[in-house]
Amino acid sequence: MKPAPFEYVAPRSVEETVRLLGEHGADAKILAGGQSLVPLMNMRLARPSVIVDINRLPALDYITPGPGVLRVGALCRQRTAETSPVVAAQCPLLRDALRLMGHEQIRNRGTIGGSIAHADPSAELTAVLAALGGDVSVQGPGGTRVIAASDLFVTYLTTSLEAHELLTEVRFPALPPGAGWSWMEIARRHGDFALVGVGVVLAPRGGVISEARIALTGVGPAPVRAAEAERLLAGRAPSEGLWDEAGTVVRASLEPEGDIHASPEYRKHVAGVLTSRALREALTRVGETH
Amino acid sequence: MAVREITLRVNGRVYRGRAEPRKTLADFIREDCGLTGTHLGCEHGVCGACTILMDGEAVRSCLLFALQAEGAELTTVEALADGEHLHPIQQAFWEMHALQCGFCTPGFLMTTVAFLRENPHPTDRDIREALAGNLCRCTGYQNIVKAVAVAADALAARAQTVGAAPASRIETSALAASLDAENTAHVPQGWTAPEVKKVRRKVSNSDSRVRGDRSAGGAKAKRRRARGR
């Protein structure tokens, strides 16, 4: 047998789930899509003594378009969101990022909430949520609370969720009307984890950029909002020179760590180049959303 | 740890067994159901050898626990062939020499079944993306890509000839049953000269189609080019 022994429970309601998490605390691990957790268990890098399988909670599997925000249930499969017309209409940045997340076999099981809660430093969804300034709902024994993306991602594989809390919903703000967007990443092979990824939203008004949003993944312990570059872009007229300028600012602002896959210098360089490219592509899409 | 009673539906048949919760679906399928066509390579979701269909969708059976699959309709490589008659996708793999040692083949086949159901007329690029989640350590990828193109043509032709539900709509549980008499006409009984010619023709057809797609380019392809990918 690959994983170490564990006790298995499959609660039938969110309340029961929260109660079980309260009972078992840090010994318990929530199993959603299992595409990150089960490999860790198979390699015995993770040895949770209790698995709380939330796959029997269909109430957490939904995509609901709201005014200005897309509400996605934690258990919604990545592939479902990727192919959803609602996601395409309201949040094409999310769809484009999902297309590069692992492989279809992974996305058929992997969940939106699971990827957010796992908080891998090179995950696409964390950067998408950060770029859009979204938030999540979590439920614990004391009730529900909302955590903004900026407060959610603490460091490598760590969020501000407590051990007894269940992430129930992820809210992705819809793109502003007429905004352009782009998701770009560099990976060694199609479907691999991104070495660097960047999500961009450009909102136009009367020939200038009214607002730019840029978030990167793979360049730090948590997704990075490129605040300085965003300020640089606001109020300026789009131009090739401006994209280069923004790329340079992003490159200078980052302090990524190196690993076996890429050196810090390489990551910084790629982050700058991708940011310029993504801004250029986002501009070509201005006006495509309604 | 408590051993549990587990009941699974695989290829339309019910299997009962007893296993710990930590037993993966892949191990249960192989050891308890005795269906050893599903192979295990990496056992952590990278190689794709263990790919099966769960309610029609391609999934890694090494990343699921057996008891999670209770109530689902599972399809493994054993459901593809109808006795002596290979499924059109298997046939295409055989004809195009898309397997060398064959270890990765069940995973590639099941990935292809799900892929062609969703995308019956794929471009070369589509095929490569769809296969990206499966590893072949013999590295015979070129022929696998060709085989999927040939299989797509064969399934499309069959859907037209039979006039029944297109291959893309075939329910997974009915996969085996769907392999009808018409289809057997497609199966060459050996490598006779006409068959070899037929295969060569198919490859050149599929290649030119692929090139056509590239030069014509859909919106998606254009976007990708613009992105330098």
Interface A-B, measured as beta-carbon pairs within 8 A, has a size of 95
Q: How far, in Å, CA of A252 to CA of A3, rounded?
A: 43
Mean local confidence (pLDDT), A81-88: 97
Band (B209; pLDDT cuts 50, 70, 90): very low
For chain B, the C-alpha Rg in angstroms (whole number) is 18
pLDDT for B136-147, tens place per residue?
999 999 999 999
- Residue B14: CB atoms within 10 A of its CB come to 8
Query: Does pLDDT of B164 surpass 70?
Result: no
- Asked if the Cβ–Cβ distance from A102 to B58 is below 8 Å, we say no
- Asked if the Cβ–Cβ distance from B24 to A42 is below 8 Å, we say yes
For chain A, the C-alpha Rg in angstroms (whole number) is 19
Chain B residues whose CB is inside 8 A of the A187 CB are: none
Dihedrals phi, psi of A144, to nearest 5 degrees: -100, 145
- When scoring A44, A45, A103, A276 by the number of chain B Cβ atoms within 10 A, the one with the most, hence best to mutate, is A103
- Asked if the Cβ–Cβ distance from B20 to A104 is below 8 Å, we say no
Q: How far, in Å, CA of A62 to CA of A78, rounded?
A: 11
Chain A residues whose CB is inside 8 A of the B129 CB are: 190
pLDDT for A26-46, tens place per residue?
999 999 999 999 999 999 999
Nearest to A103 among B57, B133, B227 (CB): B133
Chain B residues whose CB is inside 8 A of the A190 CB are: 128-129, 132
Residue A71 vs residue B217, higher pLDDT: A71
Query: Does pLDDT of B195 surpass 60?
Result: no
CA distances from A130 to A122, A151, A201 (A): 13, 10, 11
- How far does the CA of residue B201 sit from the closest CA of chain A (Å)? 30
- Asked if the Cβ–Cβ distance from A4 to B22 is below 8 Å, we say yes
Q: Give the tokens for residue A244.
A: 């280069």
Band (A288; pLDDT cuts 50, 70, 90): confident
- How far does the CA of residue B184 sit from the closest CA of chain A (Å)? 30
- Asked if the Cβ–Cβ distance from A39 to B44 is below 8 Å, we say yes
Q: Which helix (H) or strand (E) holds B142?
A: helix B141-162
- Asked if the Cβ–Cβ distance from B22 to A3 is below 8 Å, we say yes
Structure confidence at residue A289 (pLDDT): 66
Chain B residues whose CB is inside 8 A of the A1 CB are: 20, 22-23, 27
Band (B160; pLDDT cuts 50, 70, 90): confident
Which among A279, A284, A254 has a CA at the least distance from the CA of A121?
Answer: A254
- Asked if the Cβ–Cβ distance from B45 to A190 is below 8 Å, we say no
Structure confidence at residue B200 (pLDDT): 40
- When scoring B1, B3, B22 by the number of chain A Cβ atoms within 10 A, the one with the most, hence best to mutate, is B22
Q: How far, in Å, CA of B123 to CA of B211, rounded?
A: 9
To the question of pTM greater than 0.90 for the whole model, the response is no
Residue B206 vs residue A6, higher pLDDT: A6
Indicate the DSSP class of residue B32: I
